[in-house]
Amino acid sequence: LRAELEATQKALAAAEESLFIANWSAFRNAKLVGRGGFAEVFSADWREQQVALKVPRIGLNKHEVLKIERDLRLEMKRLQSLDHINVVRCLGLVKGGTAGIALAMSYCGGGSVHELLYSEQPPAMPERLRWIAGLAHALAYIHGQGVLHMDVKPENLLLNDTREVKLADFGLSKVTSTF
């Protein structure tokens, strides 16, 4: 029985380790690009690509850190189960850094819809309509996958370098089997 328990614990530890794609030290040129209530987002270079790193804010007690780690793992699993042109792509978890854990995602260098809507030269209506259509496609897809985003707002609509909209921040999302 003890050998079975040890084997199960080793298997669980190996499965846990497979969630991590790299250590923080593998990322270069990290720059702060955004802040939210829960985390800061950095852009960084990794394996010849630019990525976004969602890093939980530090200064929390141990209970809060464990909850954040659990929440990041859930967000990663939800994002990795989704594959759509209008949903930000999740690469996996990162070990280390100031918070001990981070979530690596595809980088959207075009900023957020919120930033552009409130800029000195807001986008023209045709571009706004394209973003709305992209959001509608993303929502139809994730709802078809049984995922409810729960936090759709302009700040969570990111734009890639070609200004294609990407639904991001699945931290509050829920999974449901029926609608």
DSSP string across 20-74: EEEEGGG-EEEEEEEE-SSEEEEEEEETTEEEEEEEE-S---HHHHHHHHHHHHH
Rounded CA-CA distance 131/157 in Å is 9
Name residue 50's amino acid.
Q
Please state whether 8 falls in left (phi above 0), alpha (psi between -120 and 50) or beta: alpha
Has 151 been annotated as catalytic?
A: yes
Rounded CA-CA distance 65/52 in Å is 21
CB 111, CB 93: distance < 8 Å: no
Give the active site residue among 71, 83, 151, 161.
151
List the catalytic residues. 151
